[in-house]
Amino acid sequence: MGSHDKKGCFISLSSFSFAMAGILTAIQKERNMRFHLISSLIVLGLSFYFSISKMEWLLILFTIGGMFALELMNTAIERVVDLVTAEYHPLAKQAKDIAAGAVFVYAVLAVIVGIIIYLPYILKQF
């Protein structure tokens, strides 16, 4: 998506700032993004507390990153659909529902990953 500028940088500073603005907008305006942010901070705290392995860290970080990326795409799809039509349309509903379904599938996967990684650590506490 980035382009080479005169200095050879792949991604320009403005591209980075646009991306950050998009992330911040989603966090500010989308309740689900705030939920994912808080959940991620809790998960990261648990990861430090339990001193999870390097491989577990990789899985957790990819799971968190994937969740944020998918939620951002879902939000973008919702915004585009809302921009195209303010009236009810079955295809608009399908687009939103399908994007939300993708997030839901990944959220279930994230919970399963969390259970697999953290349950043994939690059970050791008892």
Q: Tokens 């700032």 sit at which residue?
A: 17
Q: Cβ distance 62 to 70 under 8 Å?
A: no
- Is 27:71 a contact under the CB 8 Å cutoff? no
Of 56, 71, 78, 87, the catalytic one is: 71
**Is there a catalytic annotation at residue 30?**
no
Please tell me the distance from the alpha carbon of residue 92 to that of residue 111, in angstroms, as a whole number.
29
Please name the residues in contact with 99: beta carbons below 8 A apart, sequence gap of 6 or more.
73, 74, 77, 78
Catalytic residue list: 71
